[in-house]
Structures are given as structure tokens and as C-alpha cells.
Structure 1
Amino acid sequence: MHYIESGAGTPLVLLHAFPVDARMWNPLRVRLEDQARVIAPDQRGLGESSLDGSSAHGLATPPEERLVAETPSVDVVAADILALLDELELPRVVLGGCSMGGYVASALLRAAPQRVAGLLLIDTKAPADTDAERAKRGDVADRAEREGTAQWLSEAMLPALLGATTRENHPEIVAAVRDLIESQPTEGVAWAQRAMAQRPDCLDTLQGFEGPAMVVVGEEDTITPTAEARRMAEALPRGELVELPGSGHLPSMEAPEALAEAVRPWLSRVDV
């Protein structure tokens, strides 16, 4: 599994959104690396991580263990992350995820709660997809396999991923996110969509987490709006809610300074 790592201190694992990769965390990572050891993996099939799991454990995976590529699931990605933590000899970490990364973080929390010292959920949600949402994901996956993803995927997703402030005032961020989307492998895009479509509701999992938790939402996020963030924060026994003005679904790129200012004091209170 490919990952980007920098800094020293509290181990903080950040899981990226769809359809981008670990580079979405760079603007935030450089603002936290004097306080935390920030580890940002490319999730299975995206960025530089393979789809078949052949490098998910840092070693060649036997063929009989590569069936997971045929069964898309956020649980599979969570298992990849747990294997990475084992490889890095990290028994407990602060776990963060944005959007799809939040779904994977919840899956990891469900599988191995003892590995999570603190939980950072950014622009994500707890409910499973509706039938209509699952159908839409299936359509995107099918089109990606049929046509590739050049141009149409970024054009379809940018208006939703980025807030109005970013789209109107920061063309450089729009261009950077477009480049990230355009660089993703077609097969990984399709696999990730099908994995997200099959995820379960995770509200019960969040209600059972007794550790410190922060839920962050961009005030201009239309994909997972403030109401969804508030629902998670209220479900978490030690949940805190932070709203970021002028940001949409990707605050690590749209408002990294404001996000870092929110995360820093919270992170200092997490006992790993």
C-alpha cells in the first residue's frame, strides 16, 4: 500500500475522499507535521495503491488472498489499513477520514476499535446509501469501465466536491482537484463506487466509540451537509462539531489553515 508520511509525534492516519488520493491531505499534512506523525495512504485501487491487494501488506500477497478485488467493500479497505498499521508497528492511532475515507474509518472502528485512540470525521456521513444512491454509484462504475473517466468524471463531480467560495475565488484549487480526479485509475474508481454502495449504516458503531471524536463539515458542503455532521457528533459520546466557513466537501484543500487550527488543540488532548 502506497502512503505519504511526514512529521513526528501523535500518529495520525488520514484516509482520503473519492475520487482522489492521499495527496488531498498535503496542505493539511504540512500544517500538522510538527505535532503529529501524519500517515496518508492511497486506498486500494486509487493513487499508487494496487487494486488486487498485491502490495497492501508491504509484501507479495498470495493469489488466494486476492479475491477481495472481485468483492468491493469498505471492510476490505479497512483491512488494508489495519495491515499497514501492523507493518508500521502502530498499535493505536488517531484515525481520520474524509467522505469515503470516513466510511473506511467507520469500518475499521467496527472491526478493531482497540486500534483507534481518537476519531476525526470530515465531511462524511453515517447512513448507508439509499436505493437511488446505490443505483447512481453503479451507473458511475459502469460508465467508468465502459468509457474511462477522462474529463466527464471531474466535470460531474467538481461542482459538488468544492464549495461555491472555492469555485468562484480559487481557480488554482479547482485545477488541483481536477488533476487529482483525472489521475485516478479507471478500475479503482469503479471498485470504490461499488464498495461505497455496499457499506452499512455506521451510526451504532459511532455510538459505541468512547474515545475523543471530532466531526468537521464545510458549511458549503452539499454532499454531506451540516445536518449529517451534527447527527454523527450527537451520536458520538465524546463528539465535537466544527463547521468551516467558505469550504465545501474537501476542507483539507479548500480551508487547510482553518482545519489545522481546529484539529491542533483537539489532537493534543488525545491520549494514544
Structure 2
Amino acid sequence: MNDTLLHHRAEGPASAPPLLLGPSLGTSYALWDAVAPELSAGHRVIRWDLPGHGGSAAGLLAAGGTVGDLAGLVLALADSLGVARFAYAGVSLGGAVGLHLAVHHPERVSSLAVICSSAHFNGAKPWRDRAALVRREGLAGLAEGADARWFTPGFTVERLVQDHRDADPAAYAACCDALAAFDLRDVLDRISVPTLLVAGRADPATPPAHLREIADAVPDAALVEIPGASHLAPAERPEAVLTALRGHLDAGAKRGMAVRREVLGDAHVDRAQARQTPFTAPFQDFISRYAWGEVWTDTTLSRRERSMITMTALVAHGHYEELAMHVRAARRNGLTPDEIGAVLLQTAVYCGVPAANSAFATAQRVLAEESAGE
């Protein structure tokens, strides 16, 4: 056991878009057993255990710990795996971690799905009382009532109930401390990533009203309610959760394709799509999701500014065929020929005169072709 990192399981191609999955209090990453293998067909799925749960060391979270502390452990795990930015989905406490990441570390999160969770968990007292009970008596008694808290009548997943029994009491109590202190209602409007809320209609712990509260506060968030699901929807209704997550995660590729067409033009994108083969399809999907669905849609920089940066980078690396494409894109993004020339003159200073000489020749050809076609 690694005492410094959260225990985790990674599935799917290493080159696929990363997706982190967070668990509920009292469970391990087995909560995602019926969903993660399907998602791993198109994603690098990384599911993790809470401190003192599953294979994670209990000492990773001390008494009085916060959801922010748990989010820090998730970021440390991502860093150790070389994952700079990721989609995130989490259940209950795992969903709270996702909300914290989206509010306080938006540069790390590309999209967010919050499942059977809340921006607050009904005040501090119930969780402080539960923490005190667990520190005094352990988890055996609390685990006896897990089915009623987690599932609709008559349904159970024995593996998850056993996870509850096996969790470290001190770490479980520390997670209760984190839930007691958690309340992000006042800052939900700061979440800017695509966000999906999934509620179990029969969930007594975080009923649909809690997810609706988040959906109403987060700009452009979507809400899905799953009938016949209680608190651990991925275990009880995995097909419905999988359908909701697939639609949410695929939206990034669709959004990216729309931006790609706006910047590069339909003719170029149509040619690229026509040349696509099963071998190149994963790369095309990668480009649509990351370059166009995440980087080019980030409003921190304007498209004009992104065009200038992109042309400079292409000159620096001698990618003149790509430069021609992005000179055309720069014109669509509002740059004048004089402004494009000024960018290329700047590259002469910092990238070298021979590189700028070739870049001017490429740009002049493209601009002449544009003028001839007007």
C-alpha cells in the first residue's frame, strides 16, 4: 500500500481522454464496477478510494479534514499519473470533491458530473454526531443500516456493504468531518465547465431537490433524474447512469467539432473527416475533444489571440503546412493581413530569420489565394 497516494484503478487506453471517478462515503471504487468498464472503451478511467476505504491508507485524512483536503489528494494522484486535466464524475462525497475541484481548480477539470450528491449535506450536526458515534463504537452498527440508506427496498450489493464494514473508523469519521464543514452554495455560479447533475428519485440522503439546487446555480448545467434509483445510482441503475454520462462526455467532442468548423472552415474539416480511417479516428476524436472542445473554447483568451499564439508556435517548429491552415483561420478570427504580418515579423526576432522567411512565403501565398477568390 502506498501511504502517500490514494489507492486507485486505471482502465482504458493510456492515450484516451482521462476520466476520474469518485466514490461515496463507506464504499470503495467497486461502486463503479458496473459502469467503469464501459466508459473505459473511450476514456482512461481512473477510479480512486477514499482514505481508509478499499486500498487507501487511513492516515491520508486526519480528524477535522475537509473536502478541500480530499480534492488535494485527488490532484496529487492525477499529478502522479501525468494527468493535467480531466473529466470528473463522483457520487455523494465523491461528487462534493468534484464540486470543490470545479470551483477552486477549474484549470484541472474539463467537465463535471455530480451524482446523488449536494452542495451541502444538511448541516454540520448530523455528521459530527455520526463521526462521534463511529469513533466511539466503530462501523459495525452503522453498516447494518447501509442498505436502507443506499438502495431501494429489496436491492443490495454485498461487496459495497462489506466495504462499509471494512472501512477504517478513524478515516470514516474524518470523512464525516469533511461533510460537516462542506457548503459551496454561495460559489456554485463560479463553476464554468460543462456540468451534469444526476439524481436518484428514491434517494433519501441527497434527494433530487439537492441536485436541482446545484443545476439552478451552475450556468448551463443539465439535470437528469433516474427513477428506481436511491443513493448509489451507479450500482443500482448502472445502465441509466452510463447513458447519462456518455451523453455528457460526448458533448465535449460535439462542441469541439462545432468550434473546429467555425475556425478552420467546413471545407477543411470535411476533407479531414473524409480521410479518416479506423486507425486515425482516435486522433481525430482527441483533436476535437482537447484542442477544439477544451482549449479553443476557453474564454480566457480571444480567438484572435489564440490565432496569433498558434501561428507563432507553428513558425517556431517549422510546421508551414499547418501554418497555411491557421493563416486562413486567423482571417476568420478577425486578423487583418497587416496584423498577420506583424505576428510573423515578431517571429523573426524570437524564432529566427530563416523560419520567418518561410512563414512569410507561406502566408503571402495563402493571402494571395484569398484575394483571388474574392
The separation in 1 between residues aligned to 2:107 and 2:186, in whole angstroms, is 16
Counterpart of 2:8?
Answer: 3
The separation in 2 between residues aligned to 1:141 and 1:5, in whole angstroms, is 31
Scaled by the length of structure 1, the TM-score of the pair is: 0.85
- Contact 1:219 1:247 (8 Å CA) reproduced: yes
- Contact 2:146 2:161 (8 Å CA) reproduced: no
Match of 2:126 among 123, 136, 156: 136
Match of 1:156 among 121, 132, 145: 145
Alignment of 1:110-259 (within 5 A): 110-127=103-120, 129-130=122-123, 134-150=124-140, 152-163=141-152, 167-168=153-154, 170=155, 173-199=156-182, 201-259=183-241
The superposition leaves residues 36-56 of structure 1 with CA deviations (integer Å, 9 ceiling, x where unpaired) of: 111111122322111323xxx
Counterpart of 2:100?
Answer: 107
Q: Which structure: greater helix fraction?
A: 2
Q: Which structure: greater strand fraction?
A: 1
**What percentage of residue pairs aligned between the two structures are identical?**
30
Q: Per-residue deviation at 1:175?
A: 2.5
Match of 1:85 among 70, 78, 90: 78
The separation in 2 between residues aligned to 1:72 and 1:184, in whole angstroms, is 17
The verdict on how the C-alpha distance between 1:205 and 1:119 changes in structure 2, with shifts beyond 3 A counting, is farther
- Segments of 5+ residues of structure 1 without an aligned counterpart are 54-67
The separation in 1 between residues aligned to 2:62 and 2:179, in whole angstroms, is 14
**Alignment coverage as a number of residue pairs:** 247
Query: What secondary structure, in the 3-state scheme, does the structure 1 residue paired with 2:47 have?
Result: strand
Q: Per-residue deviation at 1:70?
A: 4.1
- Contact 1:142 1:190 (8 Å CA) reproduced: yes
Q: Which has the higher contact order (CA 8 A, sep 6+)?
A: 1
Query: What secondary structure, in the 3-state scheme, does the structure 1 residue paired with 2:202 have?
Result: coil
Structure (1 or 2) with the larger CA radius of gyration: 2
Query: Is the deviation greater in 42-51 or in 207-216?
Result: 42-51
Q: Per-residue deviation at 1:180?
A: 2.0
Amino acid at match of 1:120: A
The superposition leaves residues 126-145 of structure 1 with CA deviations (integer Å, 9 ceiling, x where unpaired) of: 13542xxx222222222222
Q: Per-residue deviation at 1:174?
A: 3.9
The separation in 2 between residues aligned to 1:159 and 1:95, in whole angstroms, is 27
Query: What secondary structure, in the 3-state scheme, does the structure 1 residue paired with 2:59 have?
Result: coil
- Segments of 5+ residues of structure 2 without an aligned counterpart are 1-5, 253-288, 291-374
Scaled by the length of structure 2, the TM-score of the pair is: 0.63
Query: What secondary structure, in the 3-state scheme, does the structure 2 residue paired with 1:241 have?
Result: strand
- Contact 2:131 2:172 (8 Å CA) reproduced: yes
RMSD of aligned Cα (Å): 1.7
The verdict on how the C-alpha distance between 1:34 and 1:110 changes in structure 2, with shifts beyond 3 A counting, is same
Q: Per-residue deviation at 1:256?
A: 0.5
